[in-house]
């Protein structure tokens, strides 16, 4: 009997191994968390930095570069100056980026202006001094640019989001801005955007052909006056606006959502949401939050998802208990202070051309505030989707 078992033992062993492998292959996959299902698997790799030389171009000072957008068809960038028509008329520049690769190392070779376009108001004239504070810029599918202005509530200059002709700079269209973003002229300023904390960001999601509707997104840099909580609140309650632009008819404000700004250390003087970038997948964004204080400047890039965020359009004030309001979902993608390099006043973010190795690129740009002690900084990253 034992001899017979010994003769069959190799067969039994092989069967046992096969069963184990079968059971292992059929075991349930590793559990995926809700956060992993919600966010895309993105990462950023730092490539290079470049200081844009201080210069004049066509009788304008090249500075205050607070927004950037890439025209893939032309392989050109449009960069907005936040000059309030004081040093020169309100304007955006066309820039050309040159990148080179030597010994498997990718470097920015140059980033130079090739053209300047002056913005024009409703009357077809250049914006008068102090009548505009241009901060956000995005390219539309119909080959125009949308620009946001923070306005100047202390001097009764209203914020706006408008469409401009890419070639002539003429204003073509105004987007409706709800009254809650504007100061109440009949009383003390107890509502509306805060001074220099309005529509800093602007981005466009284009999913179809040029003749299809497209979506414009913006957000205030910090909370509206009526949303600001001064009772130990750590996260500013920012409103995120979602517009639909149709080929016919007027633009429509489709929804608003709550964006919670990250808390800042006590030594920080300025903390705000400075830019949004719509990703190709609808409902997904990158956001840029910038801080400045006694220890210098900092910046963080987040992945943002609309998901099931609450529409806050009909909520008059976001003060008090907002436990029933679902904010936009956020996840830290990159803390730029980890680079260990000098950071200036980073305000703009844009996708860029393919790098020499074929990978996707992402660029950040800083606003030097026309200050000789600051620089116009361009940071180049590789955008990786795993």
Cβ contacts of 357 within 8 Å, gap of 6 or more? 101, 106
Is 70 within the bounds of a domain? Answer: yes
Count: domains in the chain: 1
Across the beta sheet with 42-52, the strand order is 42-52, 376-385, 360-366, 346-351
Residue 69 in contact with residue 59, Cβ under 8 Å? no
Is 191 within the bounds of a domain? Answer: yes
Q: Confidence band (pLDDT; 50, 70, 90) for 377? A: very high
What confidence tens digit (pLDDT) does each residue in 185-234 have? 665 678 999 999 999 999 999 877 777 899 999 999 999 999 988 755 57
Q: How many angstroms separate the CA atoms of 162 and 144, rounded? A: 10
What confidence tens digit (pLDDT) does each residue in 221-237 have? 999 999 988 755 579 99
Q: Which helix (H) or strand (E) holds 4?
A: helix 2-25
Is 36 within the bounds of a domain? Answer: no
Ramachandran region, residue 59 (left: φ > 0; alpha: ψ -120 to 50; beta: rest)? left
Is 3 within the bounds of a domain? Answer: no
Cβ contacts of 227 within 8 Å, gap of 6 or more? 237, 239, 317, 318, 319
Least confident of 13-17, 314-318, 354-358: 13-17
Domain range for 140: 41-385
Nearest alpha-carbon partner for 348 in 335, 331, 364: 364
List, as one string, the DSSP characters of 185-245: TTSSS-SSPPTT-SEEEEEEE--S-TTS-EEEEEEESS--GGG---SS--S-EEEEEEEEE
Is 12 within the bounds of a domain? Answer: no
Q: How many other CB atoms sit within 10 Å of the CB of residue 161?
A: 22
Residue 227 in contact with residue 235, Cβ under 8 Å? no
The CATH number of whichever domain residue 325 belongs to comes to: 2.115.10
* Position 8 pLDDT exceeds 50: no
Nearest alpha-carbon partner for 235 in 248, 243, 223, 247: 223
What confidence tens digit (pLDDT) does each residue in 36-63 have? 578 999 999 999 999 999 999 999 999 9
Q: Confidence band (pLDDT; 50, 70, 90) for 118? A: very high
Is 24 within the bounds of a domain? Answer: no
What confidence tens digit (pLDDT) does each residue in 326-360 have? 999 999 999 999 999 999 999 999 999 999 999 99
Check residue 53 and report its DSSP letter: P
Task: List Cβ<8 Å contacts ≥24 apart for 35-39.
Answer: 35/331, 38/305, 38/307, 38/329, 39/303, 39/305, 39/329, 39/331
- The pLDDT assigned to 266 comes to 82
* Position 295 pLDDT exceeds 70: yes
Q: How many angstroms separate the CA atoms of 12 and 384, rounded? A: 48
Alpha-carbon distances, residue 214 vs 80, 187, 251, 348 (angstroms):
22, 37, 10, 21
Q: How many angstroms separate the CA atoms of 328 and 81, rounded? A: 29
The torsion angle over the Cα atoms of residues 259, 265, 269 and 274, rounded to 10 degrees, is -30
Q: Which helix (H) or strand (E) holds 24?
A: helix 2-25
Q: What is the pTM of this model?
A: 0.89
Is 10 within the bounds of a domain? Answer: no
Q: How many angstroms separate the CA atoms of 159 and 251, rounded? A: 17
- The pLDDT assigned to 92 comes to 98
């Amino acid at each position: 009997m034992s001899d017979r078992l010994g003769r069959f033992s190799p067969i039994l062993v092989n069967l046992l191994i096969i069963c184990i492998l079968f059971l292992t292959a059929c075991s349930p996959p590793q559990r995926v968390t809700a956060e992993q299902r919600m966010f895309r698997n993105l990462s950023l790799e730092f490539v290079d930095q470049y200081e844009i030389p201080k210069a004049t171009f066509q009788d304008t000072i090249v500075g205050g570069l607070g927004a950037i957008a890439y025209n893939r068809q032309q392989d050109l960038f449009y960069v907005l100056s936040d000059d309030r028509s004081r040093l020169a008329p309100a304007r955006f520049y066309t820039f050309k980026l040159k990148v080179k690769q030597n010994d498997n190392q990718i470097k920015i070779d140059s980033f130079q202006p090739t053209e300047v376009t002056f913005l024009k108001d409703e009357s077809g004239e250049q914006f008068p001094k102090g009548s505009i504070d241009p901060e956000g810029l995005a390219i539309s599918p119909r080959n125009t640019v949308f620009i946001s202005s923070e306005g100047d509530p202390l001097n009764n200059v209203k914020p706006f989001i408008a469409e401009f002709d890419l070639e002539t700079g003429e204003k073509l269209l105004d987007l409706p801005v709800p009254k809650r973003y504007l100061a109440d002229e009949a009383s003390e300023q107890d509502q509306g955007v805060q001074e220099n904390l309005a529509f800093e960001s602007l981005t466009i999601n284009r999913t179809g052909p040029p003749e299809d509707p497209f979506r414009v997104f913006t957000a205030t840099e910090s909370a509206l006056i009526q949303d600001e909580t001064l009772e130990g609140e750590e996260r500013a309650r920012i409103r995120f606006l979602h517009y639909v632009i149709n080929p016919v008819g007027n633009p429509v404000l489709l929804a608003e959502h709550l964006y919670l700004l990250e808390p800042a250390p006590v030594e920080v003087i300025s903390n705000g949401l400075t830019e949004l970038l719509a990703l190709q997948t609808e409902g997904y964004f990158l956001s840029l939050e910038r801080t400045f204080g006694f220890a210098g400047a900092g910046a963080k890039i987040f992945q943002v998802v609309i998901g099931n965020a609450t529409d806050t359009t009909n909520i008059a004030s976001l003060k008090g208990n907002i436990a029933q309001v679902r904010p936009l979902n956020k996840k830290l993608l990159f803390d730029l202070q980890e680079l260990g390099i000098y950071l200036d006043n980073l305000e703009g973010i844009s996708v860029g051309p393919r790098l020499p190795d074929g990978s996707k690129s992402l660029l950040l740009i800083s606003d030097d505030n026309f200050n000789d002690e600051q620089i116009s900084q361009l940071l180049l990253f590789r955008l990786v989707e795993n």
